[in-house]
Structure 1
Amino acid sequence: MRILLQRSDAKEAAWIADFKDLLPEAEIVFWRESATFAPCDYAVVWQPPAAMLPALREVKAIFNTGAGVDALLKFGEALSAHVPLVRLDDAGMGVQMAEYVSHAVLRHFRRLDDYEAQGRAGIWQPLPAFDKADFPVGVLGMGVLSTRVLQALAQFEFPLRGWSRSQKQLDGVQCYAGEEGLEEFLRNTRVLVCMLPLTPETHNLLDRTRLSMLLPGAYVINVARGAHLAEPDLLTLIRSGHIAGATLDVFRNEPLPQQHPFWQEPRITITPHISAATLRRESVAQIAAKMRRLHAGDSVAGIVNRLQGY
């Protein structure tokens, strides 16, 4: 078994070491532009450049080492349709995402930003508390990671909503589906958590029209992709008071440019795309197990539906 490995973060040595440890029967080849390689069975990639496309057409499957596959699907028909794309199922990202989102929800619910501002001003003053019954949390997307987040939030007894492209069921969650269910979902959501895959249909999904459907004083958390959110529209609605604030981990341009107005808006909390890091050891273990199954002629979970985009 030969594996073609590509990384865009200069961490290839650690990935190679883990593959040698967890899949010792495989030969690991690191991809470099302009280099020539003997045919490989599988490719493991993270944000591959267009120059890698010829090599990706020759493998039996491509494994993506992130939660989203938009960096691959952007190549369209240039990425051979006969080569399966395999995404990570969780690999330790679910618990990280649950931690991040739960913290953001609780921070807003308990008004900790307000108390920190009072503390800096030397003000000792209890503030009116939110009523949990009037604080429904809605999650856009109901995949593996979203389900983990909803299960974590359930422990705090928030009213929970979930929206997905097709109808889903999850205990304790009021589920909505399809375009016809999206407006009702938004109109019944106080804290909106975006965890959708980025597809042509979800690009700019959170624009002024849809964000205005949220309950007054809503709060927005985006841990998916920056292109889901119309950034100027969010700013407008925060400044108008319809949206109370936001916690944003992803942006259209990363790193977020210093001149971006988000930096100057105190009601927006910014983090540098850290809500759920890829855990290398867990990811390699999952990929290695799937490679062994494919090599034995068995099926694996996590095959991307290219038409749906996830």
Structure 2
Amino acid sequence: MGALVFYSEFDDPTEWSDALKACLPELDVRVYPDVGNPDDVRYVLAWKPPAGFFAPFKNLQLVVNLGAGVDSLTGRDDLPEVPICRLSDPGMVALMRSYVTFAVIRYARDMPDFEAAKRRKEWHYIHPTPLDRIRVGVLGLGALGSAVARGLAEQGFDVRGWDLSPKVIEGVTTVSDPTQWAGFLGDLDILVNMMPLTAGTRGLINAEVFAALTPGTKFVNASRGDVVDEPALIAALQSGQVGAATLDVFIKEPLEPNHPFWQMENVYITPHLASITVPTSAAKDVAESIRRVNGGGAPLHQIYPKAGF
């Protein structure tokens, strides 16, 4: 079967090794840089490996991106000519759904106002708005975005979804017609960004997008920081055009101490943890892709980094 090399600065290699061996007991799991004989290596499971990482592995058959987003691979000129796939992990999906649901409910139930009232020691009543009157737009309906939109609809929100290609999601009004873009943006109470980072989406959410929103619309970004024009978002938050924002991702991470977001009362910050890959569930995906490639087939969730998806 050959060996698999694991690389990540953020994940526990022991947890991954145990999970992979539970699915494929015969798999030889090696943790970078202790790769042994590189000619033994048939598979790589990695997140943001350094430049030149793949060069020693002449017998590579499969690369698995340790996550759902592929922007860490786009633009690289050292990728091997082998199938490359991403993970689609139920645990990761559940975490993303929970994060966005929390962020949306926090605004829908006026929690920032109650948090401020508590600091003032003030009993501050706000009559709740029925959830089906709160219009939530999900921008990007890929694997994670579709799950987020579906989860919000199940909570009872009026959910609208936008994607570049037509999508059908139960309980969600979906739009892909570019002529309806402005109408989609202008009819929301909360906008959630789930767009992947590609050459075409970098800076997509800019001053024009914020200007098209109804004044006071809330914004949630749980995708990638570079999809958003940060100076434009700061200006929109300062003017009140965007009423508040929940931000899990940023152009530069960690967020620098002098960044304006830290000083803004209407910005809720989390340190890029909306979703993580869960080894015990994701390892099943990796094992199945290995089996398929060994059988001469294509892996699960194959991606094409040069095309950006």
Question: Under TM normalisation by the shorter chain, which class is it?
Answer: over 0.9
Separation in 1, partners of 2:11, 2:285: 21
Aligned in 2, Cα 1:157/1:56: closer, same or farther, shift over 3 Å? Answer: farther
Alignment map for 1:140-289 (pairs within 5 Å): 140-177=139-176, 179-289=178-288
Q: Does 1:72 align with 2:83?
A: no
Q: How far did 1:267 drift?
A: 0.4
Unaligned regions of 5+ residues in structure 1, if any? none
Unaligned regions of 5+ residues in structure 2, if any? none
Where relative contact order (Cα < 8 A, 6+ residues apart) is larger, the structure is 2
Separation in 1, partners of 2:100, 2:57: 35
8 A Cα contact 1:197 1:309, kept in partner: no
8 A Cα contact 1:57 1:79, kept in partner: no
Question: Which residue number corresponds to residue 21 of structure 1?
Answer: 22
Q: Secondary structure at the match of 1:281?
A: helix
Percent of paired sites with the same residue: 33
Separation in 1, partners of 2:58, 2:178: 35
Structure 1, residues 27-46: CA drift from partner, whole Å, max 9, x if none?
22323299762242211111
Q: How far did 1:296 drift?
A: 1.7
Structure 1, residues 96-147: CA drift from partner, whole Å, max 9, x if none?
1111111111111111110111111111121254464552101111122112
| Paired positions, count | 308
Separation in 2, partners of 1:265, 1:293: 50
Q: Secondary structure at the match of 1:4?
A: strand
Q: Does 1:50 align with 2:64?
A: no
Structure 1, residues 38-76: CA drift from partner, whole Å, max 9, x if none?
24221111111103031467411210111211111231x
Amino acid at match of 2:89: D
8 A Cα contact 2:86 2:303, kept in partner: yes
For normalisation by structure 2, the TM-score amounts to: 0.92
For normalisation by structure 1, the TM-score amounts to: 0.92
Aligned in 2, Cα 1:57/1:170: closer, same or farther, shift over 3 Å? Answer: farther
Separation in 1, partners of 2:159, 2:21: 43
Separation in 2, partners of 1:143, 1:84: 20
Aligned in 2, Cα 1:304/1:186: closer, same or farther, shift over 3 Å? Answer: same
Amino acid at match of 1:28: V
Amino acid at match of 1:124: W
8 A Cα contact 2:191 2:220, kept in partner: yes
Structure 1, residues 158-190: CA drift from partner, whole Å, max 9, x if none?
211111111111122111115444333212222
Separation in 2, partners of 1:181, 1:92: 34
Q: Secondary structure at the match of 2:218?
A: strand
Amino acid at match of 1:162: G
Amino acid at match of 2:300: A
Aligned in 2, Cα 1:189/1:305: closer, same or farther, shift over 3 Å? Answer: farther
Deviates more, 1:256-265 or 1:294-303: 294-303
